[in-house]
Amino acid sequence: MNTRFNFEQLISLLGRSENDPVVRNFFGHEISNIDHDEYYGSLEFKPEGVGIVFKEAPWVVPSEKITDPKELYVVAFHFYCEGLEGFTEYSGQLPNGVRFGDSEAELLFKMGEPVKKGGGNISPVLKKTIPYWFWFMLGDVILHIRLDPEGRVDLVTPQKREIKLV
């Protein structure tokens, strides 16, 4: 099992700044490799099957608490199945015994009723079918689980709820 990228430990990083000592300690020198693009940032650990998504402060922090609007915050982790976007499969444990390759029925049996679901329609912008996905709540974290075209779990993304922009 991959101990560096433990699911529960990563969840504890959601909502923390790139400058938070806990985040800096966890990622070490790799924090300087954040690929910053527009309002987002990302780190990829393809051999571990993990991607990290960052967003700038206005998307994550209430306006009265922002000190630097360009500061990045951890907002999501992507856990990949084998070969998806060139990643090795994440080897850590997922919540409730969910596994990559689980069918929709197995997923719903393990996770219960989703709070939101979508996909299956064609995106007019991308000109392709949007994969089916489900949202489940893990405390105050949204667990976004996506299914591949065969209806099997291929991407698991715990994410922080966004601040509603006015």
H/E element holding 8? helix 7-11
1 inside domain: no
Q: What is residue 3's predicted lDDT score, i.e. its pLDDT?
A: 62
Confidence label for 164 from pLDDT (cuts 50, 70 and 90): low
> How much of the chain, in percent, has pLDDT values that exceed 90?
77
* pLDDT score for 60: 87
Quick check: is 60 in a domain?
yes
As a whole number of Å, the CA-based R_g of the chain is 16
**Is residue 166 in a domain?**
no
Confidence tier at 16 by pLDDT (50, 70, 90): very high
Is 165 a member of any domain?
no
Question: Exposed, middle or buried by CB within 10 Å (0-12, 13-18, 19+), for 60?
Answer: buried
d(CA 4, CA 115): 30
What pLDDT does residue 163 have? 55
Question: Cα dist. 7→13, 114, 125, 140 in Å?
Answer: 10, 20, 33, 15
pLDDT mean across residues, the chain = 91
Dihedral sign (CA 48, 25, 35, 62): positive
What pLDDT was estimated at residue 165?
Answer: 44
Quick one: pLDDT band at residue 120, thresholds 50, 70, 90? confident
Q: Say what the pLDDT of residue 166 is.
A: 39
Residue 157 pLDDT class (50, 70, 90 cuts) = very high
pLDDT interval class at 153 (50, 70, 90) = very high
Could you tell me if residue 110 is inside a domain?
yes
Nearest residue to 8 (alpha-carbon basis) of 134, 92, 90: 92
Query: Is position 17 within any domain?
Result: yes
* Arithmetic mean of pLDDT, 103-127: 92
* Assigned domain for 155 exists: yes
pLDDT digits (tens, 9 = 90+) for 54-113: 999 988 888 888 999 999 999 999 999 999 999 999 999 999 999 999 999 999 999 999
Q: Which residues of 72-92 are buried (b: 16+ CB within 10 A; e: fewer)?
A: bbbbbbbbbbeebeebbbbeb
**pLDDT for the residue 106:** 98
Asked whether residue 136 is domain-assigned, the answer is: yes
Number of domains in the chain: 1
Give the tokens for residue 9.
């430990």
Residue 49's domain comprises 7-160
